[in-house]
Chain A
Amino acid sequence: MYKIVILLLLALSLRAESDYELGKGVQVASLPLYLGGYFSLDYRHMDEQERYRLDDLALLGYGSYEKFSYMAEFEYKSFYVQTKTPQNDRLEKDTTLHTERLYLDYNYDDNCVLRIGKYNSPIGFWNLLPVNVLRQTTSSPVSTDIIFPKFTTGLGGSYTSYGEGELHLELMAQNNEDLDNKYNNYKIDEHYGVNVLYEKDEYALKVNAGYFHKIDTINEPDNLYYYLLSAKYDTEKYQFLAELGSQYSEEKTTTPYAGYIQGLYRFTEQHIGSIRVESYEDRIINEQDEIAIVAYTYRPLYPVAIKSEYQFHSLSSQNQFLFSFSVLF
């Protein structure tokens, strides 16, 4: 039934918008509802494995009315995954429509916004724009996956003030299960976090710290604390981005460090090169790795990305080539 509703809304909105531009979404009639979406196709080649994937097939809906605004995002994750190894050829399809984000914001006053629902945890810079078409490389840094919960389901509140620069304080609070806990890197029932961002001209600095409680764990610490420090320098031609964090429990350090530094150069609006160096130690799975990534992105239009990258790992069996095609509409 929901598929019929979605198709109807899309048809209605495409009829309404004659000056549609890719990456801008469409308004449904004159309602406070904009629709958009994105998808990603990717290919991965490793020594003994090849993978073809249709990932992130997502629909976005959002709008605002008076002091309220909302966002809904539903997504097919790993919709089609074909993996080939010398031993076998495997095909997996996940046709469950997941709830990636679903929240309501209320602009309390000039400086404060309150939020309820499921949202991207505002931790670091990468985690706020995690979809393939918007990020710089097909892959995401390991540190964005092993330190903090990517999503929070609960309450949020932020305070922003403008002086010489922009100061932004934000709190996250979850004391219930995830709205769709299959769609999170950790299954959690508690998360409390704080985010402090200072931005001036081309510079932005961010400090995050928090606590979360994992469920469904066996022989692993379930009360975990984390912190993440992030910095960004962004100009017309260059961008430097760095994030470094750690995770620990009361008994032991689970991830002593995980971080990356990435440099990006825009040769032209369409051609972008980037280099990323990563390092991490994960004591839960007992793995330590250093990674160097060289990547190139071609954007015929900004909302269309054709990307390739090669990853050199200190664990050489993990060396890989990635290629992807992604679109935001």
Chain B
Amino acid sequence: MKKTHQILLPLLFISLPAIAGEYAVVSNQNMKDLTLIEIKAIFLKKITLIDDVKIVPINLEARDDLRLKFEEKVLNMSFSRLKTYWTKEHYLGHRPPISMKSQESIKAFINNVDGSIGYVNIENVEQNMKIIYKWSD
């Protein structure tokens, strides 16, 4: 029994990085490289133009798992803090990013609209997309 533990425990730790999800902020190939602080500013609608092209950030729907991960890891803001932020922005005349139901819709939008930027699971990144930023669980 003790021997089994000795074999299984290290295996468990080796396999952990493999099951951790990897995600990417993506756009089309025309988008310039962006820093993390610029990505945050885009999704908070502080940056609206890049190289004179209108920027269209795209979210997944409000309680989508990947959206919550993106907000926590990339925007560094909780769901409730973002709700507060967008209520204040409503008074200042700004709207939150548009939301889409699936990563497929985000990919289709990015392929068709210059300046659009969204996030998907790493395995959903297509060859014609540009990875702007990667993060993992």
Contact = CB atoms under 8 A, between A and B. Distances in A.
Interface in A249-306: 269, 302-303
A11 interface: no
Given A60-B93, A302-B84, A162 B50 contact: no
A251 B83 CA distance: 48
Interface stretch (A46-54, A61-69, A146-154, A313-321): A61-69
A162 B41 CA distance: 9
Interface string B62-83: 0000000000000010101101
Nearest to A234: B81
A63 B93 CA distance: 7
Contact of B86 (A24, A131, A236): A24
B118 to A, nearest CB: 20
Contacts of B92: 71, 128-129
Q: How large is the interface on A (under 10, 10 to 19, 20 to 34, 35 or more residues)?
A: 20 to 34
Interface in A1-53: 23-25, 34, 36, 38
Contacts of A303: 87
A166 interface: yes
Given A110-B50, A269-B80, A302 B37 contact: no
A170 B93 CA distance: 18
Contacts of A184: none
Nearest to B35: A162
Contact of A129 (B41, B49, B91): B91
Given A110-B50, A236-B81, A166 B90 contact: no
A110 B47 contact: yes
Contacts of A128: 92
B88 to A, nearest CB: 6
Contacts of B38: 162
Contacts of A165: 37
Interface string B47-64: 111111010000000000
- Give chain A's interface secondary structure class: loop
Contacts of B96: 24
A82 interface: no
B134 interface: no
B54 A66 contact: yes
Interface string B10-50: 00000000000000000000000001011001000011111
Given A34-B95, A110-B52, A236-B78, A162 B47 contact: yes
A10 to B, nearest CB: 16
Contacts of B86: 24
Contacts of A107: 48-49
B87 A24 contact: yes
Contacts of B48: 107
Nearest to A270: B80
A160 interface: yes
A141 B81 CA distance: 24
B90 to A, nearest CB: 5
Contacts of A25: 90
Contacts of B47: 110, 160, 162
Given A109-B52, A110-B51, A134 B88 contact: yes
A36 B83 CA distance: 16
A213 B70 CA distance: 48
Given A129-B91, A134-B88, A166 B41 contact: yes
A166 B84 CA distance: 20
B91 to A, nearest CB: 6
A328 interface: yes
B23 to A, nearest CB: 22
26 contacts: A23-B90, A24-B90, A34-B95, A38-B91, A60-B91, A63-B93, A67-B54, A69-B93, A70-B93, A71-B93, A107-B48, A110-B47, A110-B52, A129-B88, A134-B88, A134-B91, A160-B47, A162-B37, A162-B38, A162-B41, A162-B47, A166-B37, A236-B78, A302-B80, A302-B84, A328-B90
Given A109-B49, A302-B80, A302-B87, 18 more contacts: A24-B86, A36-B90, A36-B91, A66-B54, A69-B93, A107-B49, A110-B47, A129-B88, A134-B87, A134-B91, A160-B46, A162-B35, A162-B37, A163-B37, A201-B76, A269-B80, A302-B84, A328-B87
